C-alpha cells in the first residue's frame, strides 16, 4: 500500500462519502461512511487494503479536515 496514493484517494472521496445522505447526516463520520470509503478506495487501487491500516489513514484525513472546518468557522465569526 502506497500511503501517499491512499491519502490522495481518501482526500478525493471523503467529501463525496460524507455528503451521501444514505450514509448519514454528514455531520459525523460513521461506520457506514468508513466501509463505503474503504470499498471505493480498494476498487480504485485494484487491491484490498488492510482495514486497520486504512482506518489510520482515514483518521489522519478526518483530523485535518475537521481542523480546517473549525478554522473556517472561526474566521467567519471574526469577519464583520
Q: Rounded to whole angstroms, how far apart are CA atoms 18 and 69?
A: 14
1-46: pLDDT as tens digits: 688 999 999 999 988 888 888 887 767 788 888 999 999 999 999 9
Select the more confidently predicted residue: 79 or 10. Answer: 10
Measured over the CA atoms of residue 43, residue 47, residue 42 and residue 31, the dihedral's sign is positive
Q: Report which listed range, 29-33, 48-52, 73-77, is most confident.
A: 48-52
Amino acid at each position: 500500500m502506497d500511503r501517499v496514493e491512499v491519502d490522495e484517494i481518501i482526500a478525493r472521496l471523503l467529501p463525496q462519502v460524507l455528503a451521501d445522505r444514505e450514509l448519514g447526516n454528514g455531520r459525523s463520520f460513521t461506520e457506514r461512511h468508513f466501509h463505503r470509503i474503504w470499498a471505493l478506495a480498494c476498487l480504485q487501487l485494484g487491491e484490498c487494503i488492510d482495514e486497520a491500516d486504512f482506518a489510520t489513514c482515514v483518521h489522519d484525513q478526518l483530523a485535518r479536515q475537521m481542523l480546517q472546518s473549525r478554522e473556517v468557522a472561526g474566521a467567519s465569526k471574526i469577519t464583520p
